[in-house]
Amino acid sequence: MGSAIVIGTGVIGAATALALARAGWIVTSVDRNAMAGHGSTSASSGVIRMHYSTREGTALSWEGQHHWADWAGYLGLPDGTALAPFRKVGCLVMKHASNGDLRRNMEHSEALGIPFEVWEPETIRKRLAQPDLRCFWPPRRPDHGAFGMPTGGNIAGGVFWPDAGYVSDPALAAQNLLAAAAARGAQIVRGEVTGILRDTRVRGLHLADGRELRADVVVNVGGPASSRLNRMAGVAAGMAVTTRPQRMETAYLPGPPDFDMARDGIVVSDADIGCYAKPDVGGGVSVGTEGPACDTPDWIEGDTTERDTVGEQAEVQAMRYAQRIPTVPLPRRMAGAVGIYDVTEDWLPIYDRSDLPGFYMACGTSGNQFKNAPVAGRIMAALIAHCEGGGDHDRTPLAFTLPYTGNTIDLGHFSRLRQANPASSFSVLG
């Protein structure tokens, strides 16, 4: 093995640094933020779920769940280290015509041995806080004249994945990973990347303060900065799928009265109202958008934003959620989080090499890959070893066996050369 620079200390960058360090690489992690996880990871909802649109995505998420369930064992940090807790509360997904009544998701789960339960409306009513199960499709914004008006029919049921849940402190999860990488010798450098050193292959990078860092391999895990970094490396033209930064808002609401959200709340994905919701340890609930047609994407030119407080979009999500849970309090001043996502055209990630030898990418991961971070790190380490050892991943994609579950996935699924995957949900659901 040689030396590797990992750009980014978000949850996936930190996981990649750990996997490379464990594989024997001399690792340097570089980030402009003061602490690991203080970029887009800090705004993640931290949901751990298994309902993905593709077989590979489902297998990856099931493998990821096993890492979170064995977080202390996977990290190997000293006893007494504060660890990001995984709360296994389960995830309910409402059946809906737009998701094919979840038939494909259930098929993937059956094939991969993932437990799930089919819930009738009566069970949903028992497990949620006095839900209104009338249908409101299509999702609308509050300024629509028919907003809040039922459109006929009722939710016919849902599918519940009991092993799902959420990580209550996503930034701490990234810090755990980076601490484990540091224990294996990884060095951490703070600085803004302003250039990629290259000739016939990558040689390292420039930092804004004038420093140069040299390495045999550079891995772009820059989150919303990934497209800028790819342009610096001169590799963007060789990609069939690309990444782009998008500003996202999440609303924080108090929990419904007479319902203990911290104890009894579950993760809910609800295509009928275009929202997902997760409980918070403090007893509240976080509500995000699933990207329905009425929510115009908030694309931004750079990879940061001065609009760092929530606004209209968070209010829209809160009001749509209140259609399903009418007793939820809607505060006069909305609280929430703003994140900058890094997304591809099909919302599936790129875990791949590039056209520049030695320059690798773990990009387009925002919104739906937090849960897969530990596995993504292992994938990148295996892919780098394969390509640096002479393997032609473009011609013959690497097959990767997932260590906890034993399932094998085709890493060509995450190639930069793929066409947009028609099986994708083309949304944050992946």
pLDDT of residue 366: 83
- Superfamily (CATH H level) for 87-166+244-342: D-Amino Acid Oxidase, subunit A, domain 2 (3.30.9.10)
> How does pLDDT run across 310-320, given as a tens digit for each residue?
999 999 999 99
- Cβ-based neighbours of 66, under 8 Å, separated by 6 or more: 404, 405
Locate all alpha helices (DSSP H) within 208-341, ordered by sequence.
226-233, 261-264, 312-324
- Reported as a pLDDT band with limits 50, 70 and 90, residue 292 is very high
End-to-end CA distance of the chain: 34
- Cβ-based neighbours of 342, under 8 Å, separated by 6 or more: 40, 222, 223, 224, 225, 226, 227, 243, 244, 245, 246, 363, 364, 365, 366
pLDDT of residue 229: 98
Q: Which of 227, 285, 276, 226 is nearest to 248 (CA)?
A: 276
Q: Is 204 helix (H, G, I), strand (E, B) or coil?
A: strand
pLDDT of residue 429: 85
Question: What mean pLDDT do residues 408-429 have?
Answer: 93
Q: Are strands 193-198 and 202-207 parallel, antiparallel or unpaired?
A: antiparallel
pLDDT of residue 272: 97
Residue 367 reports pLDDT greater than 90: no
Give CA angle at 224 (353, 209), nearest 5°. Answer: 90
- Superfamily (CATH H level) for 3-83+169-243+346-414: FAD/NAD(P)-binding domain (3.50.50.60)
Q: Which of 36, 46, 44 is nearest to 16 (CA)?
A: 36
- The whole-angstrom separation of Cα 330 and Cα 335 is 10
Query: Is residue 48 within 8 Å of 166, Cβ to Cβ?
Result: yes
| Token pair recorded at residue 425 | 């949900």
- The whole-angstrom separation of Cα 238 and Cα 235 is 6
Query: Is residue 321 within 8 Å of 273, Cβ to Cβ?
Result: yes
Q: Is 258 left (phi over 0), alpha (psi -120 to 50) or beta?
A: left
- The whole-angstrom separation of Cα 332 and Cα 343 is 32
> How does pLDDT run across 163-216, given as a tens digit for each residue?
999 999 999 999 999 999 999 999 999 999 999 999 999 999 999 999 999 999
- Reported as a pLDDT band with limits 50, 70 and 90, residue 425 is confident
Residue 2 reports pLDDT greater than 90: yes
Fold agreement between 3-83+169-243+346-414 and 87-166+244-342: no
Which residue is it, tokens 């407080």? 309
- The whole-angstrom separation of Cα 54 and Cα 50 is 11
Residue 427 reports pLDDT greater than 90: no
Give CA angle at 136 (130, 142), nearest 5°. Answer: 95
- The whole-angstrom separation of Cα 374 and Cα 371 is 8
Exposed e or buried b for every residue in 109-128, given b needs 16+ CB within 10 A?
beebebebeebeeeebeebb
Percentage of the chain lying above the pLDDT 70 cut: 100
Strand partners, 309: none
pLDDT of residue 398: 98
What secondary structure letter does DSSP report for 245?
E
Instruction: Tell whether omega for the bond before 138 is within 30 degrees of 0, i.e. cis.
Output: yes
Residue 155 reports pLDDT greater than 90: yes
Query: Is residue 207 within 8 Å of 24, Cβ to Cβ?
Result: no
Domain ranges of the chain: 3-83+169-243+346-414, 87-166+244-342
Q: Is 217 helix (H, G, I), strand (E, B) or coil?
A: strand
> How does pLDDT run across 159-178, given as a tens digit for each residue?
999 999 999 999 999 999 99
